[in-house]
């Protein structure tokens, strides 16, 4: 659902197929643990194999960028190009910080919403409407995403995302070396599309020093900023989806004539 707007922008490209699976522990994946990045990689390979796809242009938004980078690093023969959408770059742990405290804080912040219950779908949608990133931007794609993100019975509705999955993913991003070093092992062309504003319409998810370090390590990578976008509107509201779609279209030649993405 996050890529619904991008999918429309790609719909006019002849012969192009977009596969957009829900990651394990999210959406309608209906997959139990074990969670973590190794499981995400195995799941995505299963999707590609089931669809009969040899190589892809792989795109990932937010945490999905880290999943995409890990798959591209571990299975270079399956990924012709990588499009990262405000995610996927290594964020170093400050030496003065305790990693366990950072991890605990990160998991707590990421799972607060997941522990809440709601009387109705509208109440849950209203929570998203009040989100600082959405206050000045609401459209049918955001509305559909929010409604897809909730499950349960009226009076006891909750976010569909598994807290255990979030905790496992956060731990891998903090401690799992193959995940943390994935981008440095990617050999496919990389295109980063980023937003100047963050999750709460505040500081960017990928600050300039992080992006500068990435550019220094990957001088051939293409990096573009979508002015005015935040971490969410980048993928939900124009011009973000058009810029993401253009990055994907531009990467298709890396598949050597194949048209799958």
Q: What per-residue confidence (pLDDT) applies to 98?
A: 93
pLDDT tens digit sequence for 130-167: 999 999 899 999 999 999 999 999 999 999 999 999 99
Dump pLDDT digits (tens) for 82-91: 999 999 999 8
Q: How far is CA 138 from CA 37, 186, 204, in A?
A: 31, 36, 20
| Rg from Cα positions in the chain | 18
What pLDDT score does 30 carry?
78
Q: Render pLDDT for 3-56 as a digit per residue (tens, 0 to 9).
A: 999 999 998 788 888 999 999 999 999 789 999 999 999 999 999 999 999 999
Cα separation, 194 vs 51, in Å, equals 30
Sign of the C-alpha dihedral, residues 133, 59, 63, 208? negative
Pairing assessment for the beta strands 156-159 and 56-61 based on DSSP bridges: unpaired
Whether omega before 239 lies within 30 degrees of 0, making that bond cis, reads yes
Higher pLDDT: 7 or 254? It is 7
Give the mean model confidence (pLDDT) for residues 223-245: 97
The pTM assigned to this predicted structure is 0.95
Give CA angle at 73 (166, 1), nearest 5°: 45
Half-sphere exposure of 148 (CA within 13 A, CB side): 15
- What phi and psi, each to the nearest 5 degrees, are found at residue 225? -105, 135
pLDDT per residue as tens digits for the range 54-82: 999 999 999 999 999 999 999 999 999 99
pLDDT (0 to 100) of residue 26: 96
Q: Which domains, from first to last, does the chain contain?
A: 4-255 (3.40.50.1820)
What average pLDDT does range 210-235 have in this prediction? Answer: 97
Say how many CA atoms lie within 13 Å of 142 toward its Cβ: 23
């Amino acid at each position: 659902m996050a890529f619904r707007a991008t999918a429309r922008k790609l719909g006019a490209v002849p012969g192009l197929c977009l596969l957009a699976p829900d990651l394990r522990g999210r959406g309608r994946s209906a997959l139990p643990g074990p969670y973590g990045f190794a499981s995400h990689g195995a799941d995505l390979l299963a999707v590609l194999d089931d669809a009969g796809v040899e190589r892809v242009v792989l795109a990932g938004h937010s945490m999905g960028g880290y999943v995409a980078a890990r798959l591209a690093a571990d299975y270079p023969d399956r990924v012709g190009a990588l499009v990262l959408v405000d995610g996927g770059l290594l964020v170093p742990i400050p030496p003065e910080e305790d990693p366990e405290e950072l991890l605990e804080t990160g998991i707590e912040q990421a799972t607060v919403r997941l522990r809440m219950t709601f009387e109705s779908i509208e109440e849950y949608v209203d929570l998203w409407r009040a989100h600082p990133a959405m206050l000045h931007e609401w459209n049918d794609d955001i509305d559909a995403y929010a409604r897809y993100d909730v499950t349960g019975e009226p009076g006891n509705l909750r976010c569909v995302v598994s807290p255990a999955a979030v905790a496992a993913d956060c731990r891998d991003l903090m401690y799992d070396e193959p995940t943390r070093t994935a981008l440095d092992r990617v050999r496919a062309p990389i295109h980063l599309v980023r937003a100047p504003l963050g999750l709460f319409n505040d500081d960017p998810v990928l600050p300039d020093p992080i992006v500068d370090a990435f550019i220094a390590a990957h001088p051939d990578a293409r990096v573009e900023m979508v002015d005015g976008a935040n971490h969410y509107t980048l993928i939900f509201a124009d011009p973000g989806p058009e810029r993401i779609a253009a990055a994907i279209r531009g990467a298709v030649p890396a598949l050597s004539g194949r048209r799958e993405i």
